[in-house]
Structure 1
Amino acid sequence: MSQTATVQPVSRPLRQILASGVGNAVEWYDWYVYSFLAVIFAPQIFPSADPTAGLLSAFAVFAASFLLRPIGGLLIGNLADRIGRKNTLVLTISAMGLGSLIVGLTPSFEAVGVWAPIILVLGRLISGLSVGGEFAANTVFLVESAPPNRRGFYSSFQYVSTTAGQLLASGLAALLVNVLSPAQMSAWGWRLPFVVGALLSFVGLWIRRGTEETLVVKATAERPRLFEALFKYPKASLLIIGVTIAGTILYYTWTTYLTTYVPANGGVNSGQFLIISTIALFFFMLIQPVIGMLSDRFGRKPFLIGTAGIFAVGIVPALSLLSRSEFPGTLVVTLLGMLVLSGFTAISAALNAEIIPTRVRSAGIGFPYSLTVALFGGTAPFVGTLLKSWGVPGYFGWYVAALCLISLLVYIFGLKETAHRPLPE
């Protein structure tokens, strides 16, 4: 007998949002602390006569940790389809705390030699596995907790909490950079945010233990197989990949790579751009629920088409403006980019859940989504830095524009409107 999986209503949906959001913020806080502080700790772990080479190594580890995300999305997503979303979310945040602690305690290359980058890679791989599973389970958990006509609104809190974690990461990084001397930051200051992340994971763990399960599994004689979603719903899996390509390259370009790109090419320094980034992220966090509610009324497609279309045309001019603007101009361009990007981020969780049936929803979303993020999102800082080292930084904008065009075609011709349909069983 095949397993039948259904979604059960929850009695306290707002508590579901809070519990999901707090844990998710802690997870992503650690993820972004790494990208913000890579330029500082890279010489300690990857010493080189060429600073760019050390930074490339640090970003290569960042990209490598993304390779574990599809595996986490598949394995942990399958676990969420088998044992439920709640227990799986407890597991992912515990793993993230461990990975953060390992990175924070990584000794320098001078102290232990080649073991330093090995230990760092171990910590980031654990984090990558955890984050892949986190998205797979948490996305589904949020959307399944929502009333049918508010899935976009609930979906938006995926990136509200992600951005809250990023704000905490950028805020703490900015504080440390401005309070500690460069020598102190290089020696030990960069470790503090990772240790804080490990401690915060215990808070998220405690909160998540009080959530309600959304998945009801009947007839347990047959559980979902590991690759069942791919083999049974290949069109849906490919659709998730096509939908995600533009969103992930834009998200990691605008929220991660700009922290390196703008100070290196623009008219503001690192400290100034951290302030700009913090303001922009706060705006980004506030706008998510608004876009989510609008998508519940007007549908998902108009916002997706708008995001991909505007960036396909505007990313090259936007990067050019950022490379020659002072503080006010850089802030305006960054805010506008955040607003347009919200057309994807606020609704991506709802859209993905509306494509894949309940029985294999977590793994069915987790693997193709995380694979796409690994290929195009996690590599964005590395590709941008590499192109700059080759003397052609302007090519990065055209690379992003081409990926946006691919998703734009998917949004227009391959995606049906899903906002006003029931979740597929």
Structure 2
Amino acid sequence: MSDKQRFSFKKKSKHKLHKDDITVIDTKVAKKAVVATGLGNAMEWFDFGIYSYLAVTIGKVFFSDLNDSAQLVYTFATFAVAFLVRPIGGMFFGMLGDKLGRKKILAITLVIMALSTLSIGLIPSYNSIGMAAPILLLVARLLQGFSTGGEYSGAMTFIAESTPDKKRGLMSSGLEVGTLIGYIAGSGIVTLLTFLLGPEKMLEWGWRIPFLIAAPIGLIGLYLRSNLDETPAFEAMEKAAEEEKKHVSMKNILVYHWRTLLIGMILVFFYNVVDYMLLSYMPSHLTAVLGYGETKGLLLILVIMFIMIPIVLLMGHFSDRIGAKKIILSALIGLVLLSIPAFMLIGSGSNWLVFFGLMILAVFLAAFQGTMPSLLPSLFFTDVRYGGLAITYNISASLFGGTTPLVLAWMIDITANRMIPAYYLIGASAIGIIVVAYFVKETAGRSLRGSAPAVEEKHEIAEVLEEPEEALWWKKEKDLLDEKREETIISDNKA
């Protein structure tokens, strides 16, 4: 028997489904995992909200020797630099997460996020320590970006691997509820403090309070995450690989999973374009481009985010019933058809029409937020899920998400065309339709790639065992992948 034949026989004997392979998930434990991971995501966007709303004040504190416009530029440049290190943090924590476990790494990223956010509130002003102040601010932002690179991808992985297959969509959507709650809390606290303290006290010391709040939030999150169990999918993988003690390298991910990485990057691309356009760029568009009142625009976005919370959960619920792929495709087609009408309403100047236009975009964004946290982790096999997802999400988010406000502002400036954001959405959505329709498999309600099914009740085990091929739907895909790896090893050995 040749090396290749022995390998093929070995692989075919590995994927038989037994009763003991099927994981019964305790729903209470799964909900606890959603809360613990969602809190970290909320902290990330809490920081995003307070930094955005305090941009003018931060500029005066850390860049007081510059004029007002230059202060704002340097403040946002310091904010944007965090996106440069996100992919590095994603690769670092992603590889560790696939090697050491999801739980440990998520605890580490949360601690770094909390400490770096807290440290911003403790840095003395430029007037006190000179250039050391903006340098320390930059270091804190780099640490935030580095930890964030491993946070969101790890949170998606943890929830997807800790929930029953038939409820993965609903429970994973809780992660994006954390996004909305964090942003609402951050911006809301800044607004409230500004109202209570006034501009002078906010500039003197009040701006520090929101950053200092990160400490107790971090402690609560660390306590919750420390009391979580490791995900069943990771534990099963570790048990199966106990004899080999072999972990996948970065090179392995790039060589054998490059197609999945590209598909994931395009999914994250159109998802982030819509996300950052509505939540980050739109307040500036309403004020600077359309002449809408600044306070009125910010309040509108806050109201929109409140309304989005139940819609996100509803989309997650429906994804478990009809499939995430159908919902995402419907939202992409909706954006192609309704982006121009939505921006015509937004540019009308009428409060109700502006609100209605924003809600059209918000519903489509909610469709992505309710489905992507369960779909993206399902693209990858268990042994590369954290690392592959970290690479996919952070590179795409850095290239296309964080740059969306900048690109839109620049294009409107050179063209003087207020409909540029609508055209940008249509282009991103058209690309998304092609990729989702032809290259993404429906995984809602099915086991994750590389894992046996996860059920909520014991009686479901018998139903799963009736169709073992459907339960291990990823088997052929895994065999082909393993054969490619083995052929490479045999070829290298002969060489």
Which of 191, 194, 206 is residue 211 of structure 2 equivalent to? 194
In the alignment of these two chains, the number of paired residues is 423
Corresponding residue for residue 86 of structure 2? 69
SS in structure 1 at match of 2:81: helix
Corresponding residue for residue 367 of structure 1? 391
Unaligned runs of 5+ in 2: 1-6, 15-20, 451-495
Which of 131, 138, 142 is residue 121 of structure 1 equivalent to? 138
Task: After TM superposition, list the pairs within 5 Å mapping 1:194-343 onto structure 2.
Answer: 194-214=211-231, 215-216=234-235, 217-218=238-239, 219=242, 221-266=245-290, 268-343=292-367
Shift of 1:233: 1.0
Task: After TM superposition, list the pairs within 5 Å mapping 1:349-364 onto structure 2.
Answer: 349-364=373-388
Which of 391, 396, 401 is residue 426 of structure 2 equivalent to? 401
Distance in 2 separating the partners of 1:184 and 1:314: 45
| Paired residues of 1:244 and 1:407 also in contact (CA < 8 A) | no
Change in 2 beyond 3 A, CA 1:175/1:270: farther
Corresponding residue for residue 379 of structure 1? 403
| Paired residues of 1:174 and 1:271 also in contact (CA < 8 A) | no
Shift of 1:104: 1.9
Residue 413, structure 1, aligned to residue 438, structure 2: yes
| Paired residues of 2:346 and 2:355 also in contact (CA < 8 A) | no
Corresponding residue for residue 467 of structure 2? none
Distance in 2 separating the partners of 1:33 and 1:320: 30
Change in 2 beyond 3 A, CA 1:354/1:170: same
| Paired residues of 2:308 and 2:362 also in contact (CA < 8 A) | yes
SS in structure 1 at match of 2:250: coil
Distance in 1 separating the partners of 2:73 and 2:273: 18
Residue 82, structure 1, aligned to residue 99, structure 2: yes
Q: Which amino acid aligns with 2:82?
A: S
Change in 2 beyond 3 A, CA 1:57/1:316: farther
Residue 185, structure 1, aligned to residue 185, structure 2: no
User: Taking structure 1 as the reference length, what is the TM-score of the superposition?
Assistant: 0.91
Q: RMSD between aligned alpha carbons?
A: 2.6
Q: Which moved more, 1:89-98 or 1:20-29?
A: 20-29
Corresponding residue for residue 60 of structure 1? 77
Identity %: 30
Shift of 1:144: 0.8
1:386-421, Cα deviation, whole Å (9 max, x unpaired): 456657463444334322322222122322222243
| Paired residues of 2:160 and 2:168 also in contact (CA < 8 A) | yes
Task: After TM superposition, list the pairs within 5 Å mapping 1:100-139 onto structure 2.
Answer: 100-139=117-156
1:202-234, Cα deviation, whole Å (9 max, x unpaired): 111111111111121132621221343222211
Q: Which moved more, 1:303-312 or 1:374-383?
A: 303-312
Unaligned runs of 5+ in 1: none
Q: Which moved more, 1:348-357 or 1:389-398?
A: 389-398
Shift of 1:367: 0.9
Change in 2 beyond 3 A, CA 1:177/1:82: same
User: Taking structure 2 as the reference length, what is the TM-score of the superposition?
Assistant: 0.79
User: Which runs of at least 4 in structure 1 moved beyond 6 Å after TM superposition?
Assistant: none
SS in structure 1 at match of 2:219: helix
Shift of 1:9: 4.9
Change in 2 beyond 3 A, CA 1:120/1:400: farther
| Paired residues of 2:345 and 2:356 also in contact (CA < 8 A) | no
